[in-house]
Amino acid sequence: MRKPEQELAEIKSMMERSTRFLSLSGLSGILAGTYALIAAGMAYIWVYYPEMPFGSNISEIKQEDILGKLLATGAVVLLLSIGTAWLMSQSKSRKKAHKFWTPASKRFIQALFIPVVVGGIFCLALLLKEHYGVVAPATLIFYGLGLLNASTFTLNDIKYLGYCQVVLGLIAAFLPGYGLILWAVGFGVLHVIYGAMMYYKYDR
C-alpha cells in the first residue's frame, strides 16, 4: 500500500506535466551553445580579422561584403538549434514515457517564439537601415524576453538564462564594439553552462 506522501507526489507530478513542458533537453542546450560559438568565431574572422582591432564599432566596417555570410550563418545556427532541441526533447519524452505534443508544449512554444519572431523582424529592419551595431543587442534582448515569457510553461530554471540574456543585450547596446563577444557569451557560453546544469539536474 502506497503512503499518502507518495500519492501526493504523484498527483503533483501529473499536474505539473499537464501545465508545464518538462521535456527540454540539457544536451540540446550544450549543442546550441557550441553552434553559436563556432558561428561567432567565423563572424569574428569575417568582420574583424585582421584589419580591425577587437572592440571597434561594427558600423565602421563595409558590411555589404560580409552581410550575406552573417545572415546565412545565423540562419543555419537557428535551424540547427531548433532542430536539435526538437529531436532531443522528443527523445527525452519517449524515455520518460511522456507525451511530447501537449497543450503545455504548445503554450511553451508560442510564449517563446512570439518575442523571438518579433525580434527577428525588428533585426531585419535594423539591417535594412544599416544599424548594424545594435543587431546583436536586439537579438539577445528579444531572445531573453522570449525565455522569460516561456518560463511560465516549462522548467523554472530557464528564467535565469532569460535574465542573463537581457542583461547582456543591454550591456551590448552601450558597447556596440563588443556586441559580437557579448553575443557569443549569451548564445554560446551561457547555453553550454545552462545545458550542462539542466542535464545533470534533470536528464541523468
Per domain, the residue ranges of the chain are 26-203
Residue 42 burial (10 A CB sphere; 0-12, 13-18, 19+): middle
CA 101 to chain centre: 20
Q: Which residue has the cell 545594435?
A: 134
- Report residue 132 as a C-alpha cell: 548594424
3-state secondary structure of 14: helix
Per-residue pLDDT of the chain (204 residues; tens, 9 = 90+): 555 555 444 444 444 444 565 667 889 999 999 999 999 999 888 887 766 655 555 555 555 667 788 888 989 999 999 999 888 888 877 777 677 677 878 888 899 999 999 999 999 999 888 888 899 999 999 999 999 999 888 878 899 999 999 999 999 999 988 889 999 999 999 999 999 998 888 776
Sequence-ordered list of residues with C-beta below 8 angstroms from that of 52, at least 6 positions apart, any chain = 60, 61
Q: Where are the alpha helices (DSSP H) in 26-134?
A: 26-47, 67-95, 103-128
Question: Tell me, what's the pLDDT at 79?
Answer: 94
Distance, in Å, from the CA atom of 162 to the CA atom of 74, rounded to the nearest integer, reads 20
Amino acid at 193: I
- Rounded alpha-carbon distances, angstroms, from residue 147 to 91, 173, 179: 22, 19, 20
| Among 165, 190, 67, CA closest to 115 | 165
Distance, in Å, from the CA atom of 63 to the CA atom of 14, rounded to the nearest integer, reads 52
